[in-house]
Amino acid sequence: MFRMPCQPRKGWQQLANEFGFHFHTMYGEPYWDESAYYQFTLAQIENDIEDPTAELHQMCLAVTEDVVNSEELLTRFRIPEQHWDLVRNSWQERAPSLYSRLDLVYSGKGPAKLLENNADTPTSLYESGFWQWLWLSQNVDAGKLALHADQFNSLQEKLVHRFREIALHYNINQLHMACCKDTVEDRGTVQYLQDCATEAGLLADFVFIEDIGLADTGVFTDLQDAPITDCFKLYPWEFMLREEFGDVLEDAQVNWIEPPWKSIISNKALLPQLWKKFKGHPNLLPAYFSDEINTNTLSGKWIKKPLFSREGANVSIIEGGIENKLSDGPYGEEGYIVQAFEPLPVFEGNHTLIGSWLVDDMPAGISVREDASAITQDLSRYLPHIIL
Amino acid sequence: MTDKRNTLLDVIDSVQGEKPALKRTKHIDLSRMRKGFCVKPLALGVASVILSGCGGEKEDATIYTSLEDCKQDFPDAVERCEAAYQTAVDEAMRTSPRFSSEYDCEHEFGPNQCQYVNNSSGSFFMPFMAGYMVSSLLSPNRYYSQPLYTSYSYNSPFRSRWITADGYVFDGDIRKRKYRVNKDVYKPKPTVNRTMKRGGFGSSVRAKSSWGSSSRKGGWGG
């Protein structure tokens, strides 16, 4: 695994426009960065990332099974009691999942370590599944990369296939897709999933989360008053379960993608629970609920994060028993976990994080993000990768 | 769906067993990935046209290219034809693809296919409505009508196809005017009489984002 500087394609911004990739630059900062790429060997990809990803996912599913069957753990995971049946039923009915992303610390050698599981609302999907694919094929066509250069990225193929399976499972030819207003990145991610669903023969109607309505008959509606029966939502379950319409979720009988059981697998309480069940597994970092141990007596470096935090909010570092806040934020009421600190590898001064994708339970590719900061991922840039 | 949760070792074996020669998506049809015009976040009519009728029946939808076509089909419902046409024209003004330059618009829709609009919602170029799709015109409750576009541009994947404002492309070329969908094969949709209230989801976003984030991301993906 190494970082290779390279020449950006001429006029790629215009190409991005043509393909509707509107968030390659955000808040005046570059996000998509093709001034370099990461190169992996096939063995690194297959042995160190692909196989551990499949295994880690199965381990996460095994923990989910434990949680669903334990009221104590459902409480631990802060699933509101009113929704235990919703979560349990979705698990017992094997409600199909679409995708997830495991964030891994990996330097090119040694075992990759699981930082967290973005199993409910992962983004950076379009730039992974399509845009870096296009980058590779154009650079190969232009003779800038070797003809046999490959990429660990079967995301688009697998997403389309998975939508076909989901359509058969629910007996549908139409579904809704939703995200929040005022976020070009989330909207772009959902548009990509609409494209994949369309490719699979589904009609994909869009509705903003805030615009979802409740009909007199108890079903959710879009802005045209059409019923929402099957819906992909890029919106966290921990919010949905607690908001006003959370009270009527059961009656509305929507087949949600991702399904309610993802509220368990995307929860950071998963990390200590994984460590309990598979203690010492080479791809896991030691992790505990912060109220289970005395953090003052912890030796070494630990990261403390809230169960529901996003984008590195409310994170602290604990070193020699002393806690130092790294970021502020609105989370934390729900409780914290601590996880052994595993430094991200540094390439040319950048801290590099691997996102390893799954479509259902199949490893489907990686994304590489760089950040100036060692822990929080505030201003990360996305870089393409190749296998050679 | 594949259910492999209970057989951890089987899955790992199967994943580690056969690996494809190519690690990436074999083929992507780039013409289908192009977004000639900006994404329209509107759950516009097509699905509701085709799917939201009474359960179990087939629903016809017809595309007309002029008001006269409709009147010929429905000589006894001329007013409804006129209303459906006007609905489509109004809808086109509200939802049609918009371009900042005539060049961009013509690139997508073909020479002389675009008009300049300057009104309260801004100034822009938009394609002429090429037809409108109508269904349940004689229904006492509600008929559907929405504008359709087509492209005369060789650059466009929509050339000679019917498309909606949000980019849904119909099967067949523009000569095809009748669409008929058998709904029996799909799960019936529940009924909606009217929507009582909106905004029951999304409050956490307002609450959490009022906190001054140092993050540049506004979204709730991760």
pLDDT in tens, A10-31: 999 999 988 989 899 988 889 9
Q: Report pLDDT for A173.
A: 86
Q: Report pLDDT for B51.
A: 35
Spatial distance between the Cα atoms of A154 and A131, rounded to a whole number of angstroms: 12
Q: Report pLDDT for B46.
A: 37
Q: Report pLDDT for B47.
A: 35
Residue B189, pLDDT > 70, answer: no
More confident residue, B169 or A108: A108
Closest CA to A115 of A346, A342, A299, A357: A342
Q: Which residues contact A102 (CB under 8 A, 6 or more apart)?
A: A53, A56, A57, A114, A116, A117, A118, A355, A356, A358
Position A191 confidence tier, pLDDT thresholds 50, 70, 90? very high
Decide if B43 and A136 are in contact by the 8 Å CB cutoff: no
Q: Measured between CB atoms, which of A123, A191, A387 is closest to B221?
A: A123
Least confident of A298-302, B64-68, B188-192: B188-192
Q: Measured between CB atoms, which of B3, B25, B203 is closest to A243?
A: B203
Q: Does B34 touch chain A (CB under 8 A)?
A: yes
Residue B217, pLDDT > 60, answer: no
Tens digits of residue pLDDT in A331-352: 778 899 999 999 999 999 999 9
Q: Does B24 touch chain A (CB under 8 A)?
A: yes
Q: Report pLDDT for A241.
A: 97
Predicted TM-score of the model (pTM): 0.75
Decide if A229 and B222 are in contact by the 8 Å CB cutoff: no
Residue B100, pLDDT > 50, answer: yes
Sorted by where each begins, the domain ranges of chain A are: 2-266+346-387, 286-340
Tens digits of residue pLDDT in A253-295: 999 999 999 999 999 999 999 999 999 999 999 999 999 988 7
Q: Report pLDDT for A103.
A: 96
For residues A31-38, average pLDDT: 97
Q: Report pLDDT for A105.
A: 97
Distances in Å between the Cα of A340 and the Cα atoms of A272, A285, A305, A351 are 11, 6, 11, 17
Q: Which residues contact A370 (CB under 8 A, 6 or more apart)?
A: A33, A347, A350, A351, A352, A353, A380, A381, A383
More confident residue, A133 or B180: A133
Q: Does A250 touch chain B (CB under 8 A)?
A: no
Residue B4, pLDDT > 50, answer: no
Residue A228, pLDDT > 50, answer: yes
More confident residue, B177 or A157: A157
Spatial distance between the Cα atoms of A155 and A362, rounded to a whole number of angstroms: 10
Tens digits of residue pLDDT in B112-171: 889 998 887 778 888 999 998 887 777 765 677 888 899 888 878 788 888 887 677 777
Mean pLDDT of chain A: 94
Q: Does A216 touch chain B (CB under 8 A)?
A: yes
Q: Kindly provide the residue ranges of all beta strands, DSSP E only, lying in chain B, ordered along the sequence.
A: 58-64, 114-119, 122-127, 131-135, 144-148, 178-182, 195-198
Decide if B35 and A20 are in contact by the 8 Å CB cutoff: yes
Q: Report pLDDT for A153.
A: 98
User: DSSP letter string over B101-157?
Assistant: SHHHHHHHH-TT-EEEEEETTEEEEEEPP-EEEEE-TT-SS--EEEEEB-B--TT-T
CA dihedral A61, A63, A65, A67 (to 10 degrees): -140
Q: Does A361 touch chain B (CB under 8 A)?
A: yes
Decide if B220 and A328 are in contact by the 8 Å CB cutoff: no
Residue A95, pLDDT > 70, answer: yes
For B202, nearest residue in chain A (alpha carbons)? A210
Residue B179, pLDDT > 70, answer: no
Q: Does A343 touch chain B (CB under 8 A)?
A: no
More confident residue, B4 or A55: A55
Q: Report pLDDT for A183.
A: 87
Q: Report pLDDT for B170.
A: 77
Tens digits of residue pLDDT in B84-98: 899 889 888 877 888
Residue A327, pLDDT > 50, answer: yes
C-alpha B201 chain-centroid distance: 24
Decide if A222 and B45 are in contact by the 8 Å CB cutoff: no
Residue B214, pLDDT > 70, answer: no
Interface of B with A in 110-169 (CB under 8 A): 166, 168
For residues A222-246, average pLDDT: 95
Position A2 confidence tier, pLDDT thresholds 50, 70, 90? very high
Q: Report pLDDT for A246.
A: 97
Closest CA to A101 of A359, A386, A388, A375: A359
Decide if B1 and A166 are in contact by the 8 Å CB cutoff: yes
Q: How many percent of chain B have pLDDT more than 70?
A: 65
Q: Report pLDDT for B55.
A: 42
Position A65 confidence tier, pLDDT thresholds 50, 70, 90? very high
Q: Report pLDDT for B44.
A: 33
Residue A188, pLDDT > 70, answer: yes
Q: Is the peptide bond before A258 cis (omega within 30 degrees of 0)?
A: yes
Residue B41, pLDDT > 70, answer: no
For residues A119-145, average pLDDT: 96
Residues of chain B positioned with their CB less than 8 A from the CB of A227: 52, 189-192
